[in-house]
Structure 1
Amino acid sequence: MTAAVLPASRTERASTDAAATAWALAARGGDRHAAEHFVRALHNDVLCYVVHLSGDPQTAHDLTQDTFARAFGSLHRFEGRASARTWLLSIARRAVADSFRHAAARPRLADTPDWQAVVERMQPRGLPGFEDGVALLDLLEALPDERREAFVLTQVVGLSYEEAAGFAGCPVGTVRSRVSRARATLERQLLEAQAPAARAS
């Protein structure tokens, strides 16, 4: 999961998007192997985004499965005009919204644990960049919702600014501004967090 937390290169994202879209189109034609590749390619991105939207790690895996079930149920309508990733994340957003409506009708009696802790437990230990990934998750939680969503969509999930703008329903310039401000806040928080250690040494 670390790879899903730490930003990938634009080339890697474009390659993954192209492959996932091709697999989705092949799966629409009944190719079961393509369907498996489609799920594997985008599962972590959907899970990360669902956790971000819902704030409820206990249901994140169920919501991710629900997202893919809905996707396969409407795959016959997918024509590849947008990337499969963008299409899938829009389904994930609806799945989370529906879960909120359901939860409002049947309130839960107990609080759920902090979502960052669950994401941390899901990540393999001892890998290069692991600590950076955990630190990033902690810092993201402190961002305002709109900036956090813009940053997660573009820097974590890998959407282009244009795709993120269409997804969030705002101008591209607004997304760029939110990401820039989020990055500035994260950099400032990292410097503040490192300052005590620097003084101690």
Structure 2
Amino acid sequence: MMTYALPTSRATSDGTCGERNAGTVTLDDAITAWALAARGGDPAAVERFVTALHRDVQRYVAHLCGDPQAVDDLAQDTFLRALGSLHRFEGRSSARSWLLSIARRAVIDSYRYAAARPRPSDVPDWQLAVELAQPRDLPGFDDGIALLDLLTALPDDRREAFVLTQLLGLPYAEAAEVSDCPIGTVRSRVARARATLTALLDAAERPAVLAA
């Protein structure tokens, strides 16, 4: 497993960060430490925190919102809210799940705003934004786009649970925190999403098998 060095600046109020700096930690631990250091006014930690999670936030809001043109604005809004609330972040949960919870609220607020001001014209669906955010020229890229196509068939709640746990890699407990629902509900949604995706994959491959 890849490990990351913690920032050298003070990152917690209880003095424990200095002890952890002697070793290495996982990426989520490092991101959480950067968030705590950023709370203490470390500009380098702020940059590392934003850089580490910017892509995850973009992918998550792209899956949630219906307007790909709004993804960048929603991501920016998410980080502005987060940086303005860092003084309240105490590291009880990972900084990743804390930030994605803020992203979810940003999307919900955008829906409320859009309801008050209807869009003048239709826009492409969320899938375009996700595709544009994907890295190109990587092994499995085409398979990833195919998966995004299949995700459109899932109900919103199952797609969100699948994205959080299977694409963004959040533990089920943190995904439940982000989605504001019991962990058992997340597990059920992911299981049903997997069953649906498996059925869709089987249906997609059947014509090719018959032709062969």
TM-score, normalised on structure 2?
0.84
**Which residue identity does 1:15 align to in structure 2?**
T
Q: Are 1:160 and 2:171 an aligned pair?
A: yes
Amino acid of the residue matched to residue 41 of structure 1?
Answer: A
Note closer, same or farther for the CA distance 1:151–1:125 as it changes in structure 2 (3 Å cut). same
List alignment gaps of at least 5 residues for structure 1: 1-8
SS at match of 1:170: coil
AA matched with 1:180: A
- CA drift of 1:62 comes to 0.5
2:93 paired with 1:82: yes
Match of 1:52, SS state, is helix
Name whichever structure is richer in helix by fraction: 1
Q: 1:197 matched to which residue of 2?
A: 208
**1:158 positional shift:** 1.8
The one-letter amino acid paired with 2:135 is: P
Cα distance in 2, alignment partners of residues 66 and 113 from structure 1: 21
- C-alpha change, 1:56 and 1:130, in structure 2 (3 Å) is same
Q: Deviations over 1:151-191 (max 9, x none)?
A: 11111122211122233333222211211111111111111
Alignment of 1:89-100 (within 5 A): 89-100=100-111
Select 1:23's aligned residue among 25, 34, 58: 34
Change (3 A) 1:108 1:43: same
What are the residue-to-residue correspondences of 1:95-106 with 2, within 5 Å?
95-106=106-117
Give the Å deviation of 1:197: 1.6
Question: 1:124/1:174 Cα in 2 relative to 1: closer, same or farther (>3 Å)?
Answer: closer
Counterpart in 1 of 2:57? Answer: 46
> Is 1:110 equivalent to 2:115 in the alignment?
no
Report the counterpart of residue 174 of structure 1 in structure 2: 185
Superposition RMSD in Å: 1.8
Aligned-residue offset at 1:82 = 0.8
Q: Alpha-carbon deviations, 1:15-48, whole Å to 9, x = none?
A: 2211110110111111111111111111111111
Is the counterpart of residue 133 in structure 1 residue 117 in structure 2? no
- Report the equivalent of 1:32: 43
Distance 1:41 1:51, change over 3 A: same
Q: Give the deviation of 1:149 after TM superposition.
A: 1.4
Aligned residues: 191
Between stretches 118-127 and 183-192, larger displacement belongs to 118-127
Q: Normalization by structure 1: what TM-score?
A: 0.88
1:184 counterpart (158, 173, 195): 195
Q: Distance in 2 between matches of 1:52 and 1:121?
A: 12
Query: Cα distance, 1:124 vs. partner?
Result: 3.5
| Residue identity in the other structure for 1:79 | E
Residue number in structure 1 paired with 2:160: 149
**How many Å apart are 1:111 and its aligned residue?**
0.6
> Structure 1 vs Structure 2: percent identity of aligned residues?
68
Which of these residues, 41, 62, 70, is aligned with residue 81 of structure 2? 70
Structure 2 unaligned runs (5+)? 4-24
2:71 equivalent in structure 1 = 60
